[in-house]
Copies of this chain bind each other. A is one copy, B any other.
Amino acid sequence: MVQLKKEENFSEWYNSVIEENNLTDKRYPVKGMNVWPPYGWKAMRLIDTIVREEFDSREHEEVNFPLLIPEDQFQKEKDHIKGFDSQVYWVTKAGDNDLDIKLLLRPTSETAMYPLFSTWIRSHADLPLRIYQIVNTFRYETKQTRAFIRVREIHFIEGHTCHATFEDAEKQIEEDLDIMRGIARGLCLPFRVHTRPEWDKFPGAYYTKGIDTVLPDGRTLQIASIHQYRNNFSIPYEIYFEDENGERKPVHQTTFGLSERMLGAVIAIHGDDRGLAFPPPVAPIQVVVIPVLLKGEKESVEKAAGDASNRLKASGIRVRLDSRDIRPGNKYYEWEGKGVPLRVEIGRREAQENFVTAVRRDTGKKIRIESASLEHEIAALLDEISDSMLQKATMSEKAQERRVENLKDIGPGLNTVWWCGDEACGKSIDDETGSSILGMPEEKSSSKGRCIVCARDTEKIAVVSRPM
């Protein structure tokens, strides 16, 4: 069981809490390609469900494109190739035959989708096109891999849109931020939006907005990214439409990418020294019902626990009845470690007097709930837990913010600095502090200052951190 302290050694705590609670199995013989056992996969699928609801409610349609991309099709947008070339896996043989055209495993699906888009889109009536898919993608990472954070087979969610104008694409990006807010609410996670510096944008993009969250050790993790492509891909891939005046124009495109890093952030930010702590919307088990038995009262207590469990299940709550013949204390410990947000204890008094005792994992608080209003009050409690988990995570994030005037003061967390905007100054922050420019925040500065490197006057601020 988890002995490591999260604050003392975050990195080892993270690995051990994942392995002990069976969220992933890293014993698969290809490094960075991990097995999703039932408990971890259930959590990921619950996150996917939230993502689907957010996309679907904004009229994005789910599709599924092939994994393998022919080499010639991949090479049409030259910045894009340059960005991914060193990271792709190549299929060169099938059966005993060498392939005439090599096939690559998608690192992302622009080059699989866009040749088809050029046949799907003919006129302005076909726009906007808004689709997404949830698929496995592959990147040959050379850095050290880490469960859910840096892997070689990525569980990837990618939204792709096409629009008649740049302005329409800009509006889409605003909507993507709404989608992100909806998803983050489900994960009980705060996030920041940073427009990445030029040298750190997505290969082929006009600009990139990173969705970043701060981990407990002060490093930042990009959990999603949104890209404005303008017509950078539509011209080489010939995605043109005829506008109302019969004029042929390239579409403007955006993409929105998310991955299992969301699960990594959930684990890292909400977990504690007792183990995992799942927010109720993505908890594989939201409520565990535990009969607390003393000798001779077995029957009525077990019946009350079974009834409560069945009623909660029927109301749509993910519940587990734990009737194993081991001491209740051991069960409490185990389910806390697995991150179940709410425990329901039912003993002799509860069974006789028709109530249950609910215990919140986050606060330890015990709440008496009358059986008559069981479903309603448990659902309300789960909502309350979500609210407090988001609030707590938001406060931790705020505690990681600081305004910094000198390079030597740059530390863990989010350092806001004045920056002239030059790449040279940006990169020397990296060289001198080991932290780098995440990008420009959404909020603009209303005053002026001096670049933290060259001391020139500037109105620009940037956020500096050490990314995961």
Contact = CB atoms under 8 A, between A and B. Distances in A.
Interface string A49-63: 000000000000111
A37 B133 CA distance: 10
Contact of A116 (B28, B138, B142, B155): B28
Q: Name A's interface SS.
A: mixed
A27 B120 CA distance: 11
Given A90-B92, A93-B90, A94-B90, A29 B67 contact: no
A88 B92 contact: no
A84 B18 CA distance: 35
A317 to B, nearest CB: 16
Interface string A134-174: 01101010100000000001010000000000000000000
Q: Give 8 nearest A-B pairs by CB, closest first.
A: A38-B61, A33-B66, A36-B64, A94-B140, A90-B93, A86-B95, A92-B92, A89-B94
Contacts of A142: 95
Given A89-B91, A89-B94, A94-B89, A30 B66 contact: yes
29 contacts: A28-B66, A30-B66, A30-B70, A30-B103, A33-B67, A33-B68, A35-B66, A36-B63, A36-B64, A38-B61, A41-B63, A41-B64, A42-B62, A64-B155, A67-B138, A68-B153, A88-B94, A88-B95, A89-B93, A89-B103, A90-B91, A90-B93, A91-B91, A91-B105, A92-B93, A95-B140, A95-B142, A135-B136, A136-B136
Nearest to A65: B35
A270 to B, nearest CB: 23
Interface of A: 25, 27-30, 33-38, 41-42, 44-45, 61-68, 70, 73, 85-96, 103, 105, 112, 115-116, 119, 131, 135-136, 138, 140, 142, 153, 155
Contacts of A103: 30, 89
Contact of A67 (B41, B86, B116, B153): B153
Contacts of A36: 63-65
A30 B94 contact: no
Contacts of A68: 30, 33, 89, 153
Contacts of A73: 29
A103 B92 CA distance: 11
A116 B25 contact: yes
A355 B51 CA distance: 38
A267 to B, nearest CB: 17
Contacts of A65: 28, 35-36
A90 B92 CA distance: 6
Given A86-B95, A93-B89, A38 B66 contact: no
A115 B30 CA distance: 12
A96 B86 contact: yes
A319 to B, nearest CB: 15
A136 B137 CA distance: 12
A92 B91 CA distance: 6
B35 A63 contact: yes
A425 B4 CA distance: 68
Contacts of A96: 86
B66 A27 contact: no
Contacts of A86: 95-96
Given A86-B95, A91-B89, A38 B25 contact: no
A468 to B, nearest CB: 22
Contacts of A115: 29
A18 to B, nearest CB: 15
Contacts of A94: 88-90, 140
Contacts of A93: 89-90, 92
Contacts of A44: 64
Contacts of A105: 91
Nearest to A37: B63
Contacts of A61: 38
Contacts of A45: 62
A153 B66 contact: yes
